[in-house]
Structure 1
Amino acid sequence: MTRFARILCVIYGATGLFLAWAAVQSKLAGSVWASFAFTATSIVPLIAYLREAEFTDAKAETRANVERAARVRENGERRAIREAADALQHVCCERWWTSLGTDHDPTCAKQRRAA
């Protein structure tokens, strides 16, 4: 959880406690309707706190998914480079490469000699 999110959660807690205290004071003063209003509104900061915690969890999950996808992509790129290097090891000369394997340079060790 970030520092800002922690500060928000502390503010939500303080607000909820104040509203609960106001509900008790309203009840003691004999104002039932105000007591119900303060009791109902003291639930709102709790909902905000839970929402903030859920947002933090979702953000952490998204960050983990992005890191996992980056590792998979990096492994795929490494595999592709390794496969290309393996394929290029079998190339013996320039002419063989450009003629799609049908002819070799005169200096190539794999040049077929006419017998």
Structure 2
Amino acid sequence: MTRFARILCAIYGATTIFLAWATVQSGTANSVWTALLFAAASIVPIIAWLRETEFSESKAATRANVERATRVRESAERRAIREAADALQHVCCERWWTSLGTDHAPTCAKQRRAA
């Protein structure tokens, strides 16, 4: 959870405590409707606190998924580079490469000697 989210949760908690205190004060003053309104209003910051914690958890899960996808992509790129390097190891000379494997350079060790 970020620092800002923690501050918001602290504000939500303080608001809930204040509204609970106002509920008790209204109840002792025999103002039933006001006490019910304060009690209902004290639930709102609790819901906000729950949503904030859920949001931070989903954000952390999304961050983990992005990191995992990045690692998979990097490993796929490494595998592609390794496969390309393996394919290029079988190349023997430039003429062989440009002639699509039909002819070798005169200095190539793999050139077939006509007998």
**What TM bracket, shorter-length normalisation?**
over 0.9
Q: Per-residue deviation at 1:26? A: 0.4
CA distance in 1, matches of 2:111, 2:2: 68
Residue of structure 1 in register with 2:4 after alignment: 4
CA distance in 2, matches of 1:77, 1:8: 42
CA distance in 1, matches of 2:7, 2:85: 54
Q: Per-residue deviation at 1:69? A: 0.4
CA distance in 2, matches of 1:114, 1:15: 94
Residue of structure 1 in register with 2:50 after alignment: 50
TM-align CA RMSD: 0.5
CA distance in 1, matches of 2:112, 2:100: 16
Residue of structure 1 in register with 2:67 after alignment: 67
Unaligned runs of 5+ in 2: none
CA distance in 2, matches of 1:113, 1:5: 77
- Count of matched residue pairs: 115
Q: Per-residue deviation at 1:18? A: 0.4
Runs of 4+ in 1 over 4 A off after TM superposition: none
After superposition, the C-alpha distances for 1:87-111 in whole angstroms (9 at most, x for unaligned) are: 0000000010011111000111111
Residue of structure 2 in register with 1:19 after alignment: 19
CA distance in 1, matches of 2:11, 2:110: 79
Q: Per-residue deviation at 1:13? A: 0.3
Unaligned runs of 5+ in 1: none
TM-score of the superposition, structure 2-length normalised?
Answer: 0.99
After superposition, the C-alpha distances for 1:50-73 in whole angstroms (9 at most, x for unaligned) are: 000000001000100000000000
Matched residue SS, 2:45:
helix
After superposition, the C-alpha distances for 1:8-47 in whole angstroms (9 at most, x for unaligned) are: 1010000001001101100110110000000000000000
The AA in structure 1 aligned to 2:2 is T
